[in-house]
Structure 1
Amino acid sequence: MIFHKSNGFHFCTAVGTEEQVYFIDFADLLGPGFEGHRAVLFLNDQRVGGIDTGLTHLSSLIFRPKMLDILPPLNKYSDSVIIFKRPIMTIRFLWKFKNALKILKAHGHHFIFILSILALGSLVVWWSIFIRNSIQLQRLYHYDKLEADLKFIAFNLGTDGSYQPSTGVFKEDTRFEVIACQSGNSIFSRPLEPHWPELCLKVQANILGQIESKTRSLNLMLVGEASVLILIVLVSTVFLYRFIRLEKRTAREVNAFWERSAHEIKTPITGIKAFLENLRAGAVDSKKLAMYIDIALGQVERQEKLAENILSGYQLKRRELRLRFADLEMTDFFIDYFAKDSSRLAGAKIIFKFNKDNRMILRADVNALKVILDNITDNAVKYCASSPVLQVDCIGYENKAVIVIKDNGPGFPSHFIETIFEAYKHLDEELPVKRQGTGLGLYISRQLARKMGGDLEAYSEGEGQGAEFRIILPRVNKK
């Protein structure tokens, strides 16, 4: 490398080589005084990096001194780095401001919660101080008015020598009383000078007590109103905080739902497209054609079930789903269902624990019940690591039938019993087993079961213990 100075600018030029060039901090290359200086990269006399082009190669040098930054190989051309003696404090500030905006966006609800508490708390404090000062001013006003009236009446009585007031309540203004003057009289007492100095006009004690009592009542009312206001502020702020958290969580789950749905849609289409392209090119073995067609049909069926789930979820949200109820014989229905879905459940062992001679009658919508069973069995097959086993049982009560489906999958912690039925919820984040899915299946299944007058419940003894789903449906009693 060659370093030289020209026209006040410092140049660092590397001649073409097959090796990569490593630049450390400019101060290490050019000496003290160049820390934090602006840099622009020229490649074959064309500007390709720097402040205005995003600092593609030199951001590490600008914002993280002493850190190595690797420039592209110098193949048959020379690179020049020009160092301008201009501080980049503004750019550093903008960089920090950008990071601050990212933090604010990620934790905005926390900032809103804190700011709301501070703002509303300040408002409550200001309001309390303002009202308390008003109460004290009102108290002082009553005392000042009493003092002024006392002086005025005492002056008139003391200057009127033709009439000597008698002791007792002053009849013309019952707030006052005439008493014999004594040493140590209160401030609310005035002698009737100059004619009757042995007599004093005094504010009655009950009048002063009324003022103090009213002041205490107003202070007590202030404390009560302030407490209620603080409680309202806290409750409102907590609800606001929870609402913002819920909104952010919902937005996050909806985004994840669309991402998973896109994957669920694209995967079968890719397989079908590859099969059709091979078929058009004549690359499909005629002996395996039937097998490939079955696989393609299975992928189409998978797409159909996904579309049905999304459509059912939409209709349930808008309350537009209409069910057609029918009486179903439990034994025939389940045997027929698992027989027709043998390809989808290939490799899974199905164990019927109920008596096949049991002719229990269920009241349900056939399509809705199939959607529920599809979602439960799909999850069982999907999450079982190998050799899935499904145990199917049906227990009858007075007017309810409970269909029990138990698998040997990974199960889930007990605190997820309700969480797994939330819309867009996917437990891949919490469980060690990672599988694709939209996160709508169990939510739709529970809503369908409830719409049929029943319910869907889930149980698990913990991770690795399998899961048990119970479909509760109305039962038709035989007469």
Structure 2
Amino acid sequence: MRGKQSLFYHILIFVIAQLVWLSLLGLWIYWYVSNYIIFEKVGDQVSPQLVYDVQNAIPFILGLILLVGLSFITALIFRHLNVQLRITQLYDNFISNVTHELKSPLSSIQLYLETLRQRNVPAEKQKEFISMIVKDTDRLQSLINSILEISAQEKNKQMHDYQIYRSGDIVKGLLEESFEKFRVKKESYSINGDAPCEILAGKDSLKIIFDNLIDNAVKYSIANLIVEVNLSCNANKFTVEFSDNGIGISAKEHKKIFNKFYRIYNRDIPNVKGTGLGLYRVKEIVKAHGGNISVTSDSGKIGTIFKIEMPVYHHSKKRFFKGFLNKKQEITNGR
């Protein structure tokens, strides 16, 4: 609420400043035109020193240029301030979301531990509680790691363990792991296509990409989840098309969803939580692999398609990939 009020006041100040500049400009033009008309009518009857000439226009022209320049600078300052305010608002939302994401598993862990300490819990139930504690601990660890890795990405310190993989093998294996991790039933997803081409990639980084896409598909699906993944490759590009039957994304948000801290609010699913880092992280990883990611979707329609394209590894073009590899590595089959 405070952020919205601050933004309103800054907009109000900007509008008032522009009205002042425009009023001054209008008065200036009025003064100049009035004098010009007077001199045109009575110029022959007044002293020659008062007759209008080109030199009299120079201060006006210079002042007009200065006025326009100041208006332009004011607009730039306002634009920069507006961007900073939006970033601050996104950051505040991020802090709030992260706090909730940390608090939920911690509260759950505390509840299980208190139950184990204060009650005589059967052995079978103890195993179940311990399993849930481990799950929540993994969730916490994953969140902390994602924040640390985002920080490392922005400082260009994140290391990707690049190796050469046969794309179809590695991607299918990682997708199966991710679907199992998020408990997606076998009948709810399909992996189609054969991609025998080779790619240079970090296995853990690819896993992060698919984890985030599947996590979003699960969160933003209203009906029974259906995910379809299509793999293909040509001479130069390896392509993954990841489609789900979740809520659509409006065209105006297609680029915004890859921004840091940005989250979509949908009234149909108001309780979806997250940090706003998932797709930003996906975009940065894909970019670090020399690829690009795009989205096809429409608000109000079912389904979203994420398309990831990565360069195919060619032994004849090792120089292009040299920056990815720190040492000579053998071709590794995806496992």
Q: Is the 8 A contact 2:230 2:241 kept in 1?
A: yes
Q: Is the 8 A contact 1:124 1:226 kept in 2?
A: no
CA distance 1:404–1:283, shift in 2 (3 Å): farther
Q: Is the 8 A contact 1:364 1:473 kept in 2?
A: no
2:69 pairs with 1:232: yes
TM-score (norm 2): 0.78
CA distance 1:454–1:342, shift in 2 (3 Å): closer
Cα displacement (A) at 1:124: 5.6
User: Could you say what secondary structure the match of 1:326 adopts?
Assistant: strand
Q: Is the 8 A contact 1:392 1:404 kept in 2?
A: yes
1:2-13 to structure 2, matched below 5 A, reads none
Measured in 2, the distance between the counterparts of 1:235 and 1:103 equals 25
For the aligned residue pairs, the C-alpha RMSD in angstroms reads: 3.5
Measured in 2, the distance between the counterparts of 1:469 and 1:102 equals 33
Cα distance per residue 1:222-264 (max 9 Å; x no partner): 4543443333233222222222222222221111110010001
CA distance 1:478–1:113, shift in 2 (3 Å): same
Find the counterpart in structure 1 of residue 291 from structure 2: 454
2:237 pairs with 1:400: yes
Q: Is the 8 A contact 1:408 1:467 kept in 2?
A: yes
Measured in 1, the distance between the counterparts of 2:112 and 2:290 equals 44
Greater shift, 314-323 or 366-375, is seen at 314-323
1:139-158 to structure 2, matched below 5 A, reads none
Q: Greater relative contact order: 1 or 2 (C-alpha under 8 angstroms, separation 6 or more)?
A: 2
Measured in 2, the distance between the counterparts of 1:102 and 1:373 equals 34
CA distance 1:271–1:104, shift in 2 (3 Å): closer
CA distance 1:302–1:241, shift in 2 (3 Å): same
Q: Is the 8 A contact 2:7 2:85 kept in 1?
A: no
Q: Is the 8 A contact 1:459 1:468 kept in 2?
A: yes
TM-score (norm 1): 0.56
2:271 pairs with 1:432: no
Q: Report how many aligned residue pairs link the two structures.
A: 306
Give 1 or 2: higher strand fraction: 1
Find the counterpart in structure 2 of residue 304 from structure 1: 141
Cα displacement (A) at 1:320: 2.7
User: Could you say what secondary structure the match of 1:341 adopts?
Assistant: helix
Query: Equivalent pairs: percent with the same residue?
Result: 22
Find the counterpart in structure 1 of residue 13 from structure 2: 112
2:153 pairs with 1:252: no
Cα displacement (A) at 1:267: 0.7
Cα displacement (A) at 1:332: 2.4
Mark the runs of 5 or more structure 2 residues left unpaired by the alignment.
317-335
2:281 pairs with 1:444: yes
Cα distance per residue 1:333-372 (max 9 Å; x no partner): 23322333354321342201113xx422221222222222
Q: Which amino acid counterpart does residue 289 of structure 2 have in structure 1?
A: M
Q: Which amino acid counterpart does residue 361 of structure 1 have in structure 2?
A: E
Match of 1:376 among 213, 217, 221: 213
CA distance 1:120–1:462, shift in 2 (3 Å): closer
Q: Which amino acid counterpart does residue 205 of structure 2 have in structure 1?
A: A
CA distance 1:126–1:462, shift in 2 (3 Å): closer
Cα displacement (A) at 1:187: 9.1
Measured in 2, the distance between the counterparts of 1:119 and 1:283 equals 76
Cα distance per residue 1:195-223 (max 9 Å; x no partner): xxxxxxxxxxxxx7x996xx532344445
Q: Is the 8 A contact 1:410 1:464 kept in 2?
A: yes
Cα displacement (A) at 1:476: 1.3
Mark the runs of 5 or more structure 1 residues left unpaired by the alignment.
1-100, 144-185, 189-207
Q: Is the 8 A contact 1:459 1:467 kept in 2?
A: yes
Q: Which has the larger radius of gyration?
A: 1
Give 1 or 2: higher helix fraction: 2
